[in-house]
Chains A and B, each alone.
Chain A
Amino acid sequence: ETGVTQTPRHLVMGMTNKKSLKCEQHLGHNAMYWYKQSAKKPLELMFVYNFKEQTENNSVPSRFSPECPNSSHLFLHLHTLQPEDSALYLCASSQDGAGGPGELFFGEGSRLTVL
C-alpha cells in the first residue's frame, strides 16, 4: 500500500453505537489531519497532529475523539453521533519542516452515515 489509506470506506451506524475510523500513511510524513466534508459545507478541518501531538482542534464536539499512537496512524473514535454528523471524513498527511507545512496528501475518505 502506498499513500494514505482509510478504512472503512463506508460505515453505517446508529446514534448509540461506538465505532472508529482508521487512517494510515505510508509516506513517512510527520503530520496528520482529519477533515469533514458534508454536502452543505466546505471541507472543515477537525484535528491536526504534528509529531503525534495534537496542535489543532477546531471546536469539534467531544463525540469525536482523535487518537494518534504514532506518526503513521490516526484514528477517529465516534460515539453517540447525530444524524447531522453523516459526512465524508477525509484523512490527510504532510511532511512539515523548517520551511513550514508541506503539501497535503489525502486519503479516499470514509463515508459515514448515522441513522
Chain B
Amino acid sequence: AQRVTQPEKLLSVFKGAPVELKCNYSYSGSPELFWYVQYSRQRLQLLLRHISRESIKGFTADLNKGETSFHLKKPFAQEEDSAMYYCALRGYNNNDMRFGAGTRLTVKP
C-alpha cells in the first residue's frame, strides 16, 4: 500500500533561516514523489517533482530510497514561503496520487 507521512503539522521559522519539511513514504514499487503547495487563498499547485531534479523558488528535494524520504529544503526562508505544503506519491505510470496530511509553514519576519 502507498503511504505518505508528514510528521510535522506546523513548522515555524524566521525569515532567512533554513527550513526543512519532512516527508517519508512507503511503497513497494518504483515511486514518483512530489511536493504540492497551497498559498493563502490560492489553489493547490505543484511545487516540484523528484524526476525533474530542479530547484523551484529556492526549494529542493532529494529522493532518498534508502531512508524512503523526500524532504523539502530551502536554505533561506522568505515570508512569501508561508503556505501549506503537501508531499505526494504515486506509482510509476499510475494515476493513484496519495497525499500526506500536510505541513503548515509559517515564516516570521
A-side residues, CB < 8 A to B, are 4, 31, 33, 35, 41-43, 45, 48, 50, 55-56, 58, 90, 94, 96, 100-101, 103-109
Contacts and interface: CB of A to CB of B under 8 A. Distances in A.
A101 B94 contact: yes
A43 B86 contact: yes
B95 A96 contact: yes
A106 B94 contact: no
A26 B96 CA distance: 22
A31 B4 contact: no
B85 interface: no
A48 B43 CA distance: 19
Given A33-B95, A42-B99, 15 more contacts: A41-B101, A42-B4, A42-B98, A43-B99, A58-B96, A90-B44, A96-B95, A101-B93, A101-B94, A101-B97, A103-B49, A104-B36, A104-B46, A106-B45, A109-B43
A55 B43 contact: no
Given A42-B4, A42-B101, A42-B102, A56 B96 contact: yes
A41 B93 CA distance: 25
B104 interface: no
A106 B98 contact: no
A101 B43 contact: no
B99 to A, nearest CB: 4
The 9 closest A-B pairs by CB, nearest first: A43-B99, A100-B93, A106-B44, A42-B101, A48-B95, A103-B46, A106-B43, A42-B99, A108-B43
A31 B90 CA distance: 15
Contacts of A108: 43
B95 A50 contact: yes
Contact of A101 (B36, B46, B95): B95
A46 B43 CA distance: 19
A48 B96 contact: yes
Contacts of A103: 46, 49
8 contacts: A4-B43, A42-B4, A43-B86, A48-B95, A55-B95, A100-B93, A103-B46, A106-B43
